[in-house]
A and B are shown apart, each in its own frame.
Chain A
Amino acid sequence: MIAARTLAWSIWQRNSRWLILIAGYFVFYGLVIVRLNGTDNHPTLFAVASVFLIFCYLALTGIFMYQDTDVGVRGSAYPTHMFTLPLRTYQLVFVPMLTGTVVFLSSGLAITKLIHGYYPDFPVFWPVMLVTATLAMLQALFWYPLGVPYSKLVLTLIGLPTLVYYVCMPLADKVSELIVCEYLGLVILSCYAIAYHGVAMARQGKIQLFSLKPKITPARIHKQSKWLKFSSPAAAQRWYEWRQQGLILPCLVLFCCSIFSVEMFRERGYVGPVTAQGPNKDGLYPMVWPMISAYAPLLVFLVPVIALIVGCGARRTDIKHSDRTFLLFFGARPMSDGGLVAQKLWMALKSSLVAWGIILVQFMAMLPIRAAVWDAKTQVIVDQDTTIFRMLVSYLNPQFIALTLSFIFVVILLTWRNFIIGFWTELSGKTWLRYGYPIGSIALYIGVDVFLTRRSPGGQPIGPNFEQTVMIIWAINVLRAILATTLIWRQLRSGVLTPRTLLRGAILGSLLLASLMVAVWFYTGSNRPEIATIYHSSPNFAGSLVIGLTVLWTPIVRILMATEMLHQNRHRAT
């Protein structure tokens, strides 16, 4: 009991702030459920509150995994300093595991019971057992001393979807919740056994190391040194950023694609017609396998979302945990602050391009897949033996190609913008800003949504009308322009920004903005009159809305803030 108390106390001491915050959020979430009172009145509120609930469980998972090591680590991720404690191995393993299980089960059951009280269709037990099993699985995976680099990450990426799949499939097949819970209980017990075995091995220093790469000798280095040299310091820094932060987005996209690919090729039969792009020149619509119909748009949607999550801080940084300053290695690079930020922006662009390259390859793999053609006039399937490629060829015309290219251009820029969105908070070295920024942004969006859609007790909209909304957007753009000008002036004065860098940045930024404007203008061509009609406004206002939102969307202030924050933190000016 003393061991249990000591370890539980150490978990509390290390994470008390987070645990209090999470407990507070659980109470808040409960109040949201009570406030909604079983209605569907505020779906956005419910969805956002639930997303934060997931974040809470992710944070709790990190706490009970003792996760403070690199996911690529080859040994056990169990903290080695704890091996010297005068405790038996089973105490080291089972106390944090049991504490985690109890916390997950008790908090989860309280939440699901509360939801179930208002929404009787909501299941009580299996979601709680699933998140508890997820925690146990991650503890076992990360504490086991596997000798292959990144094996923990790969096994997590395979193991978690498999676990979810083998819970959802039986439930879909009407298997009882009790049996599913029993199955998850067995998973949890197995994970306890694996974790115990792994930590026992790690405590004795047992680890089997594997390396498939050929040995690098000094002679080989010398031979390679000429042709492997970086062309410039900027190129070297781009490589550094790519290895440090750039790989995560393509890796996650690749993972999603691989999961979807497995599902996609399992399916047969057609759904449709797919009408988003309209009929082809012969008045025919395509029909595709259901998984393609569902996953292809989901994949396109997922890339910017993943970029947003990565951009908000889910990546390796150059900031030290101890005092939030830069690693000296990074801070002492002989490169200007502007140069360091520029390489980060290039890395983000490369990462976005590679992510979309993976999606492109995924879509190319779909081209030979069989599809059907549906005739809108006769309402029958006229051809069941075509392919997606042949079907797409029938659509090829200059406008379709231009629309597709515009779309690709916009989504790549959107991905890039989402990726760089959190650079300025990360570089500031301020923990409250880094975590507060995404939370504050979401709160702001909800606030704006509530403000714009306000209604009187009689149900009449009392928020700003369409024209007023457009003017508010332009007023925000003016404020942003003032802020950007102030930052530029400040950085020119302090030497952070040179006139040459400013000129180059201005030319590049203007070209990008102009291209984006053209793409968005072209893409929204048919929608602008519709918008004007819906809101009883003129097409000019609809055009202003499109341009205003595009300008609002550009991250110029964030880029300038990134340079400013890097300068402040790198030289700790205050």
Chain B
Amino acid sequence: MNEPIIEIKNLVREFGNKRALDNVSMTIQPGTVMGLVGENGAGKTTLIKHVLGLLKAQQGTVKVFGMDPVSNPEGVLSKIGYLSEEGDMPTWMKVHELMRYSAAFYPTWDDQYAMKLLEEFKLDPGAKLSKMSKGQRSRAGLLVAMAYRPELLVLDEPSSGLDPIVRKDILGAIIRTIADDGRTVLFSSHLLSEVERVADQISIVRNGKILISDNLDTVKESHLRATLLFEEPLSRHPDLAGSLTWSGSGKEWQLTYCGDGKSLDAAAKLLGAKVIERAGLSLEEIFVAQVGAA
């Protein structure tokens, strides 16, 4: 196996009394599109900031391209394309100045590709960032994050609060990055349908902990919704290992379940019930079930 692009081991980060990241471990292999999902304040941005070296690990280690991003920011950041929800770009710059400035930092900057993106995103090169809409600013940020074909593209809630057209541009950028050999993407988003479209691995973060981190197909295969029919009416749902959420009353109860179908059948049998209906879950449903259960 190749050396991982990102390797995080037992990462702990506290802000005052609040533990923002609690013993987080994660490995991202080259060519992976990793979707990071979680509620607001779950710790996604904190995790991404550690990857960028903008936060130093209090405990544990963070390696990006095999290097420590804090002690070697030049080595790490020159291979990363980064776009955040906040934008945080110097608004006094014009688009062409932003391009010229950014180009100097990346030896792999591709002028032709930058011009192509400029036209594709319909950006006015003479426009000042402060005078542009949020969507246009995101496009400008995406342009400078993509134009040097970075080995790792990090997008932190890039499509939050943006219209569908800009979101489509951002998704297109991720897909293009995947199409380039060996490129890796780490992106966090609330829009789980987007994550589901492009990610091949997901990590669900809650209260600074990774609840699930696996291949998207494996995650989807290991979650299901089922209806159980009991022989006798129940006043409350029974305890069942792997169950995430319950609803229903009397003899018929619906649950979301983490595990395979066979183990559910066996467990239901032990409780004196049988599975009368089962269906797969979307990523959004899995997220709601996991986060609601945790």
| A contact residues vs B (CB 8 Å cutoff) | 70, 72, 213, 215-218, 220-222, 225, 228-233, 235-236, 239-240, 243-244, 316, 318, 320, 325-337, 339, 494-495, 570-573
Which residues of the partner chain B approach A70 to less than 8 Å between Cβ atoms? Answer: 91-92, 130
Q: How many residues of B contact A (CB 8 A)?
A: 40
Do residues A331 and B54 form an inter-chain contact, with CB atoms below 8 A? yes
CB-CB under 8 A for A329 and B90, given A70-B130, A221-B115, A228-B100 = yes
Do residues A332 and B78 form an inter-chain contact, with CB atoms below 8 A? no
Do residues A332 and B52 form an inter-chain contact, with CB atoms below 8 A? yes
Known: A229-B104, A572-B56. 17 other contacts (CB 8 A): A216-B124, A217-B125, A218-B115, A218-B119, A230-B100, A230-B103, A230-B104, A236-B104, A244-B90, A244-B92, A325-B54, A327-B88, A328-B86, A329-B90, A332-B52, A333-B77, A334-B76
- Complex Cα distance, B52 from A528, in Å, reads 55
The 3 A-B pairs at the shortest CB distance, nearest first, are namely A216-B126, A236-B104, A334-B77
Which residues of the partner chain A approach B130 to less than 8 Å between Cβ atoms? Answer: 70
B118 within 8 A of A: yes
Which residues of the partner chain B approach A570 to less than 8 Å between Cβ atoms? Answer: 54, 73
CB-CB under 8 A for A225 and B105, given A216-B96, A328-B86, A329-B89 = no
Between B104, B106, B119, the greatest number of chain A beta carbons within 10 A of the residue's beta carbon is seen for B104
CB distance from B278 to the nearest CB of A (A): 45
- Complex Cα distance, B100 from A243, in Å, reads 14
Do residues A333 and B105 form an inter-chain contact, with CB atoms below 8 A? yes
Do residues B104 and A232 form an inter-chain contact, with CB atoms below 8 A? yes
CB-CB under 8 A for A225 and B73, given A243-B92, A328-B82 = no
Do residues B101 and A239 form an inter-chain contact, with CB atoms below 8 A? yes
User: From B86, which residue of chain A is reached at the shortest CB distance?
Assistant: A328
B10 within 8 A of A: no
User: From A340, which residue of chain B is reached at the shortest CB distance?
Assistant: B73
- Complex Cα distance, B115 from A222, in Å, reads 7
B265 within 8 A of A: no
Which residues of the partner chain B approach A243 to less than 8 Å between Cβ atoms? Answer: 92-93
Do residues A229 and B84 form an inter-chain contact, with CB atoms below 8 A? no
Do residues B70 and A233 form an inter-chain contact, with CB atoms below 8 A? no
Do residues B53 and A571 form an inter-chain contact, with CB atoms below 8 A? yes
CB distance from A191 to the nearest CB of B (A): 27
CB distance from A492 to the nearest CB of B (A): 12
CB distance from A77 to the nearest CB of B (A): 13
CB distance from A399 to the nearest CB of B (A): 46
Render B36-63 as a binary contact track against A, CB cut-off 8 A, 1 for contact: 0000000000000000111110000000
CB-CB under 8 A for A233 and B73, given A217-B125, A329-B90 = no
Do residues B105 and A335 form an inter-chain contact, with CB atoms below 8 A? yes
Do residues B77 and A327 form an inter-chain contact, with CB atoms below 8 A? no
- Complex Cα distance, B124 from A213, in Å, reads 14
User: From A235, which residue of chain B is reached at the shortest CB distance?
Assistant: B104
Which residues of the partner chain A approach B89 to less than 8 Å between Cβ atoms? Answer: 327, 329
Do residues A222 and B100 form an inter-chain contact, with CB atoms below 8 A? no
B133 within 8 A of A: no
- Complex Cα distance, B101 from A240, in Å, reads 8
Taking a contact as CB atoms closer than 8 A, the residue among A225, A236, A571 that contacts B55 in the complex is A571
CB distance from A354 to the nearest CB of B (A): 19
Do residues B94 and A332 form an inter-chain contact, with CB atoms below 8 A? no
User: From B15, which residue of chain A is reached at the shortest CB distance?
Assistant: A572
User: From A149, which residue of chain B is reached at the shortest CB distance?
Assistant: B128
- Complex Cα distance, B118 from A157, in Å, reads 38
Which residues of the partner chain B approach A336 to less than 8 Å between Cβ atoms? Answer: 73-74
- Complex Cα distance, B56 from A494, in Å, reads 12
Which residues of the partner chain A approach B119 to less than 8 Å between Cβ atoms? Answer: 218
User: From B54, which residue of chain A is reached at the shortest CB distance?
Assistant: A331
Do residues B77 and A216 form an inter-chain contact, with CB atoms below 8 A? no
Do residues A230 and B101 form an inter-chain contact, with CB atoms below 8 A? yes
CB distance from B97 to the nearest CB of A (A): 8
B218 within 8 A of A: no
A-B contact pairs, 24 of them (CB 8 A): A70-B130, A216-B94, A216-B125, A221-B99, A221-B125, A222-B111, A229-B100, A230-B100, A232-B104, A233-B104, A236-B103, A244-B92, A318-B90, A325-B54, A327-B88, A328-B82, A329-B89, A332-B77, A334-B74, A334-B80, A335-B77, A335-B105, A571-B56, A572-B54
